[in-house]
Amino acid sequence: MGTIVLDPVTRIEGHLRIDTRVESGAVTEAWSRGEMFRGFEVFLSGRDPFDAPVITQRICGVCPVSHAVAACRAVESALDISVPRNGQLLRSLVLGANYLQSHVLHFYQLSALDFVNVAALLEYDGSDPVLRELKAWAQGEVSSGKILPAAPFLPQMTGQYSADPKWNLAALSHYVEALEVRQEAHQMAALFGGKMPHTAALIPGGVTTGVEPEAVEDCRTRLRRVRRFIENVYLGDVLAAARLFPEYGAVGGGVRRFLSYGVFEEGDRDWLPSGVVEAGKLSPLDTRRISEQVASSKYAGSGGQHPLQGETRPEPHKSGAYSWLKAPRYGGAAYEVGPLARMVVAAAAGHPQVTATLNGFLADTGLEQQVLFSVLGRHAARALEALLVAQRMETWLERLEVGAASVGTYTPRPGGDGEGLTEAPRGALGHWTQVRDGKIARYQAVVPSTWNFSPRGDRSDPGPVETALLGTPVDEQGQGLEVARVVRSFDPCIACAVH
């Protein structure tokens, strides 16, 4: 019996530590620890509710748009503010662009190097300028700085990497191309968000930039380029990883309970639906069933609390607590959130585009549906979702109405209780607030990575990643590459998770 500890988990945002117990070459127990405290919920109290979208965006530089949307919706629901159609579509476009950069970032910059053999660069003697510069970078030499600043790619963790030299080099070249694609996606978001990463234009009531025909055309052009990359490069690289590492189609399954709040405003309803799937069965989402438990979390309190009544009282030395994440539960149980959860919920709800895309993918690859509940399934769901969102953004651009208002006029009431639900790239995101006399009396954010990286709950039940790690085959003499692959498939952001 041994242990494998990853501390810190690298190539993620924020400070995450994973502890595992290993027996006979497989993980038998796991603990996920968020290693920082931030306090956004504490310092929001007493502020003007209209500050919430500005402040909560600073929770994260990767998914700030989602926090802006959740905060706007929480304030709109508390103060009875509605959003015109153009405002909804602009939000969906800014959020969609943010999904695209985030999914591309996650695969190329954060996860692909779990599979790609970077040492392949050291053998490279061809003339491709990008690969030559990467080789210099991998060797730790000062590069020209044209493509990337000098920084080492190596050493990688010990373990089995791709033995396909052609794919290794192609994926590394795509790593660089992905940086440009992300820039393009950020620029799309900035066209309507005013600036990125933290948008200035999303406010309760709508989006202040309005609809200029030039911006619509500019967005369309950039979207075409990003979409081409997803179709011609990203999907192919995910499939190549699946071909080279088929065993990860049976590793990292997890709790197999999936939750989505629904996302992408399109008028009367969200484009991707809300819902909860357990044992393949879809039920409607009932947010009264959400609670945050703290038995294993470094916060005072006991028993699960609904986020509207939730509190954030740090207790760093609490006995039995091992994480700064709370433990969100739905009906008392841990749920996985994220692109895979959104695809599972949408497919169970009979969503036409999602069902067609998922079925097409399974038919083209000959893969069983079962394979989706795995490390590879999460990567595939993210790539397919990127394609679906890029396609749908064209529809939102078409539906924008030049000259129509994108922010309503309103007189907010002085107080009320608000629930702001959306989906961030990494999964279900909810902000809850109580506004009293024009000030925030309470604020709670329950974030995707808080769901996925949750510690044990009040019944000592493990969180989704703690469950997904169970049974993962590992090299006991190694450094935990296999553990890292499972962990990164969830796209952790601990800066968000601890907020």
Cβ-based neighbour number of residue 16 at 10 Å: 27
In the complex, the smallest distance separating the C-beta of residue 307 from Mg ion, rounded to whole angstroms, is 7
* Pairing mode of beta strands 16-23, 2-6: antiparallel
Partner touching 62 among ligand NFE, Mg ion, none, CB below 5 to 8 Å by kind = ligand NFE
- By CB under 6 A, which span of 110-118, 232-240, 434-442, 489-497 interacts with ligand NFE? 489-497
Which one of 118, 185, 358, 496 is in contact with ligand NFE (CB under 6 A)? 496
Q: Which is nearer to ligand NFE, 245 or 330 (CB)?
A: 330
Q: Which is nearer to ligand NFE, 203 or 424 (CB)?
A: 424
In this structure, are residues 178 and 184 in contact, taking their beta carbons and an 8 Å threshold? no
Say whether residue 493 binds ligand NFE (CB under 6 A).
Answer: yes
Say whether residue 495 binds ligand NFE (CB under 6 A).
Answer: yes
Say whether residue 447 binds ligand NFE (CB under 6 A).
Answer: yes
In this structure, are residues 12 and 497 in contact, taking their beta carbons and an 8 Å threshold? no
Which one of 424, 446, 469, 481 is in contact with ligand NFE (CB under 6 A)? 424
Which one of 260, 293, 374, 449 is in contact with ligand NFE (CB under 6 A)? 449
Q: Which is nearer to ligand NFE, 66 or 454 (CB)?
A: 66
Say whether residue 448 binds ligand NFE (CB under 6 A).
Answer: yes
Q: Which is nearer to ligand NFE, 84 or 420 (CB)?
A: 420
Say whether residue 434 binds ligand NFE (CB under 6 A).
Answer: no
Q: Which is nearer to Mg ion, 101 or 296 (CB)?
A: 296
Q: Which is nearer to Mg ion, 29 or 35 (CB)?
A: 35
Say whether residue 290 binds ligand NFE (CB under 6 A).
Answer: no
Say whether residue 425 binds ligand NFE (CB under 6 A).
Answer: yes
Q: What distance in Å separates the CA atoms of residue 152 and residue 141, rounded to the nearest whole number?
A: 8
Which one of 263, 429, 435, 483 is in contact with ligand NFE (CB under 6 A)? 429
Partner touching 63 among ligand NFE, Mg ion, none, CB below 5 to 8 Å by kind = ligand NFE
- Which residues are catalytically annotated? 13, 60, 63, 67, 426, 449, 493, 496
Q: Give, as ranges, the residues between 173 and 202 that touch ligand NFE (CB under 6 A).
A: none
In the complex, the smallest distance separating the C-beta of residue 213 from ligand NFE, rounded to whole angstroms, is 31
Length of the chain: 499
Binding positions for Mg ion, rule: CB under 5 A: 445
In this structure, are residues 134 and 147 in contact, taking their beta carbons and an 8 Å threshold? yes
Q: What distance in Å separates the CA atoms of residue 491 and residue 53, rounded to the nearest whole number?
A: 23
In the complex, the smallest distance separating the C-beta of residue 499 from Mg ion, rounded to whole angstroms, is 6
Three state DSSP letters for the chain:
CEEEEECCCCCCECCEEEEEEEECCEEEEEEEEECCCCCHHHHHCCCCHHHHHHHHHHHCCCCHHHHHHHHHHHHHHHHCCCCCHHHHHHHHHHHHHHHHHHHHHHHHHHHHHHCCCHHHHHHCCCCCHHHHHHHHHHCCCCCCCCCCCCCCCCCCCCCCCCCCHHHHHHHHHHHHHHHHHHHHHHHHHHHHHCCCCCCCCEECCEECCCCCHHHHHHHHHHHHHHHHHHHHHHHHHHHHHHHHCHHHHCCCCCCCEEEEEEEEECCCCEEEEEEEEECCEEECCCHHHEEEECCCECECCCCCECHHHCCCCECCCCCCCCECCCEEEECCECCECCHHHHHHHHHHCCCHHHHHHHHHHHHHHCCCHHHHCCHHHHHHHHHHHHHHHHHHHHHHHHHCCCCCCCECCCCCCCCEEEEEEEEECCEEEEEEEEEECCEEEEEEEECHHHHHCCCCCCCCCCCHHHHHCCCCECCCCCCCHHHHHHHHHCCCEHHHHHC
Partner touching 65 among ligand NFE, Mg ion, none, CB below 5 to 8 Å by kind = none
Partner touching 204 among ligand NFE, Mg ion, none, CB below 5 to 8 Å by kind = none
Q: Give, as ranges, the residues between 239 and 278 that touch ligand NFE (CB under 6 A).
A: none
Q: Which is nearer to ligand NFE, 425 or 463 (CB)?
A: 425
Partner touching 495 among ligand NFE, Mg ion, none, CB below 5 to 8 Å by kind = ligand NFE
In the complex, the smallest distance separating the C-beta of residue 66 from ligand NFE, rounded to whole angstroms, is 5
Q: What distance in Å separates the CA atoms of residue 2 and residue 465, rounded to the nearest whole number?
A: 20
Say whether residue 454 binds ligand NFE (CB under 6 A).
Answer: no
Q: Which is nearer to ligand NFE, 71 or 348 (CB)?
A: 71
Size of the site for ligand NFE (CB under 6 A): 17
In the complex, the smallest distance separating the C-beta of residue 221 from ligand NFE, rounded to whole angstroms, is 26
Which one of 63, 68, 97, 215 is in contact with ligand NFE (CB under 6 A)? 63
Q: What distance in Å separates the CA atoms of residue 31 and residue 469, rounded to the nearest whole number?
A: 9
Say whether residue 13 binds ligand NFE (CB under 6 A).
Answer: yes
In the complex, the smallest distance separating the C-beta of residue 495 from ligand NFE, rounded to whole angstroms, is 5
Partner touching 496 among Mg ion, ligand NFE, none, CB below 5 to 8 Å by kind = ligand NFE
The residues that touch ligand NFE, with contacts defined as CB under 6 A, are: 13, 60, 62-63, 66-67, 424-426, 429, 447-449, 493, 495-497
